[in-house]
Amino acid sequence: MYSMTGYGKGVATDGKKTITVEMKSVNHRYLDLSLKMPRTFLFLEDDFKKTIEKKLSRGHVDVYLTYEQKTADEGAFVVDEDLAKNYLHAVNLLAMETGVPNDVTVTTLAKVPDVIVRETPVEDEDVLKNLALFALTEALENLTKMREKEGEALKRDFEVKLGAIENSLSIIKTLAPTVVEEYRNALNARIAEVVEPSLIDRQRLATEVALFADHCAIDEEITRLSTHISAMRRHLEAKEPVGRKMDFLVQEFLRETNTIGSKANNIAITEQVLAIKNEIEKMREQAQNVE
């Protein structure tokens, strides 16, 4: 089982170029990728997404790529002769029109924007791609290891909560058979307060108790909740992503527990129902962070 929270870093270098990829993930209903990289690497966006989608199925993932050149590549300096001549012509015309001496030097001319420019060396995209994907793969592996470690912690926490729910459910199983008898005794006591024993309609009383017994029967809900506990334990051992399944199952936990609480009409059972719902709420929060 994997958590959706994690961090991973990967570095690749060929001695001159160094690419670092960092990944940070948090919980999200679906896989939501955010790639942040220099414009030089935009051609790799699709490759990055496909590589990540093979390893991750859920979570908001921020991916940061940084690029460093340890040794500067030499580039040629190019002179724009036409621009330089146009500038000199304009300066000479200005000197003639104003009578101010023309003191333009080569140094002055070289400072004019775009007269002398340095050609940026063309990057070898294959080299950049290989380095970037190597760094991404390493970052993904480290991210996955951290998500797995976090997942193991979540798994242990789920086991504790499922154990607590089983405990309360066991108490409810013990209390359930006494609910009808308590109702029969309470009903008899209330009737005896206002009606002579000889006037009590035993048949009517038996019918009322039977109706109540049918209304408060929670055997099916107890069985289904026990089944859900077993299903949740199977999800905890699954190798594939189970977050969405666990989200749904937690809702079923809550549905059966609410039904038990509404049907049982017993203070002791209600106390256990509240204890179970407390654990379910904790599981619901945890399930939202499972991949």
H helix or E strand, kind and range, residue 138: helix 125-194
When mean pLDDT is compared across 31-35, 91-95, 165-169, the lowest value belongs to 91-95
pLDDT tens across 196-214, in order? 555 455 666 566 555 555 5
Is 6-70+123-147 assigned to CATH 3.30.1890?
no
Could you count the other beta carbons within 10 Å of the beta carbon of residue 59? 26
Cα dihedral 193, 195, 200, 205 sign: negative
Which pair of tokens denotes residue 202?
């035993």
Q: How far apart are CA 9 and CA 23, in angstroms?
A: 6
pLDDT tens across 161-198, in order? 999 999 999 999 888 877 656 655 555 556 555 555 55
Compute CA distances 279 → 29, 226, 257, 286, whole Å: 22, 15, 11, 11
pLDDT of residue 117: 82
Q: How far apart are CA 208 and CA 285, in angstroms?
A: 42
Q: How confident is the model at residue 217 (pLDDT cuts 50, 70, 90)?
A: confident
C-beta of residue 2 within 8 angstroms of C-beta of residue 147: yes
The length of the chain, given as a count of residues: 291
The CA-CA-CA angle for residues 42, 44, 50, to 5°, reads 130
Least Cα distance to 260 among 225, 231, 284, 233 occurs for 225
Q: How far apart are CA 246 and CA 175, in angstroms?
A: 29
Q: How far apart are CA 204 and CA 238, in angstroms?
A: 54
C-beta of residue 219 within 8 angstroms of C-beta of residue 172: no
Question: Mean of the pLDDT values across residues 30-35?
Answer: 94
Q: How far apart are CA 57 and CA 3, in angstroms?
A: 11
pLDDT of residue 37: 94
Domain residue spans of the chain: 6-70+123-147, 77-118, 149-287
C-beta of residue 135 within 8 angstroms of C-beta of residue 47: no
Which pair of tokens denotes residue 289?
């962070």
